[in-house]
Structures are given as structure tokens and as C-alpha cells.
Amino acid sequence: MHSVSMQLRAVQARAQGKLKRALARAPLLESWADRRYDRALAQHAPRLQDLGCVWAELVATMKRDMVATLDGATLIPADVLHEARWLCQELARDDSAHSTIVCSPSALARAPSVYAWGLADTNLDLAESYIELPVRYLGVSFKRERADAASFDTRQWHLDVEDRRMLKLIVYLDAVDEESGPFEYLDRATTLMMSTKLDYTSGFVDDARLERVVARDAWRTVLGPPLTTVVVDTCRLMHRARPPRVRDRYSMSFSYCSARPTQLFPEYLPPRAFVASLASQLSARQRSAAAHA
């Protein structure tokens, strides 16, 4: 019954989000929404935290390029890495035929430090300084991308549609080269050009269709050793996880949007019971930021 209820909620959320985005593109409503958004940014600006030089530089890079890379070894606590290694072992034992294997809520519940790190004040400050509004933490997605070269779903090019701005921290848990499913993206100017030429608003775009308007040498690829961390706005840059061909890719992705996004997808949010089980360990700010299904 719970599964059916979640499916119905997911269908309803997608339909409402699609209608909301369509209405927002109507000229009069778009102008009104832009003014409302600008007022919200101005009202929240005095509440933004002062960041240290390194983080301020990162935010400046994000506002200019909407993507940056970091060495996660300097960021991620030892207990989080310990639990992440255990989750990788759990995923490695999965012998299903699925191309993308995602950690179940029950597995994540046994590794609470991984989820909770996404609510660290440093991460919330980073997300809020980039988004420039109160933020919502959408949780962590812990994945194994099987090296089967299959191209579907998020292995195809797309924009996320949750909000005007979004911040993701994508952490490679093993070394990623050209053959093991690197994160790929188009810069902002190329994304806008592609959107115009393909009349793109949402959905997935395969390689052949994209290549008709964007040459492959404009496709940006992020390679790196274990714990390479991609900081990226996936609502503003066309992107994908390239299908791995030789080695599986293990990663964890922490996602943030504004507290009042365009839409959420309940099937991708952590269960209410899991978030509630951690409430006593969280500050008021963290409890407010933590989204759940």
C-alpha cells in the first residue's frame, strides 16, 4: 500500500511540476515570477553567512561558472568515509541486472553519518551562499553505475527541474577516467544555445541529438582520483553521467535547492521516519532544511 501511495504521489508531483513550469514560461507570469524571485533574493541577502576565503572563492567560482571541483579528502570526515566504504561493499554484492544500483533507504539508515554530513553547517552555508535563499537538503543518493555502456535516464543529457538554482556535491568514491562513467556537462553559454536550438525545456537528450547542435569537443568531462568532488548547479548546466564501459562507478551525491522549489520528487527523498529518527541530533536549522518524502 505504501508503494502504491508513493507512486501516486510521484505521478501527482510530476504533473503539478510540469504545469507549474509551463505556466512560468507565459510572458506575464514569467515577469511577475522574476520580480518576486528578485525580491526574495534581496530580502535574504543580509542573512547570508560570511564565508572564509576558500569558501568565498568557491562560491564566486560557482556564480561565474556554475561548476567547480574539490578534493573531498580535505572535506569529508573519517566516519563518513568509513560508512561510505561499507555502502560501496553493499552495492558491490548486488548481483541484479540493473544498470544503476541505488542504496536502499534501509541501507542508508544503517549509515546515518553519510546522510547527516549533508546537513553539516559548512555544507548548508555553501548551498545557501550560492542559492542565496534558505535551503532545503534533499538527501544523499548513493549509487553504483554498472559498466554496461547502457544509455538511459540520467546517463543521458538533461537539466534538473527542481528549482531556478540547485547545488549538488557529487563525490567519486573510486578513481574515474574516461571509461568509468565520468560526470559530463556543458557550460552555461552552450547550455543556453542548446536549449534554444533544440527548443529544450526538460527531459532527456541522447548523444546523437545533442551532437547535431553541440560539437563533442564542447562536452566537458570531470576525471579524477577517489574523493574528487564536483560542485555543480544541475538546474543551469546540461549534464549527464556518461555510461561506464570498463569499470563500475561508485558515487554519492548531496543535493540542495531553495526552501520553496518549483517541484520535488517524493520518490527520491529520504523517508519521513528516517529523518525523524535523527531529529534529536539536529539543530533547528538542520531540521528545517531536511526534506523528506
pLDDT digits over 126-162, tens only? Answer: 999 999 999 999 999 999 999 999 999 999 999 999 9
For residue 81, which of 124, 122, 121, 117 has the smallest C-alpha distance? 117
C-alpha cell at 276: 525523524
Stretch 38-50: mean pLDDT, rounded? 95
pLDDT tens, residue by residue, 242-287: 999 999 999 999 999 999 999 999 999 999 999 999 999 999 999 9
pTM of this prediction exceeds 0.85: yes
Cα–Cα nearest to 61, from 158, 167, 216, 173: 167
Q: Please give the full DSSP string across 40-102, using - where no structure is assigned.
A: HHHHHGGGPPPPPHHHHHHHHHHHHHSEEEEEGGGTS-HHHHHHHHHHHHHHHT---S-SEEE
Residue 136 carries which DSSP code?
Answer: E
Rg of the Cα atoms in the chain:
19
Indicate the pLDDT class of residue 1, thresholds 50, 70 and 90: very low
pLDDT reported for residue 25: 80
| pLDDT per position as a tens digit, 104-121 | 999 999 999 999 999 999
Q: Contact 146/194 with Cβ under 8 angstroms?
A: no
Residue 14 pLDDT > 80, yes or no?
A: no
Taking CA atoms, 210 is separated from 153, 161, 200, 241, in Å, by 15, 19, 11, 15
Q: Which three cell numbers stand for residue 271?
A: 523517508
Q: Is residue 64 pLDDT above 90, yes or no?
A: yes
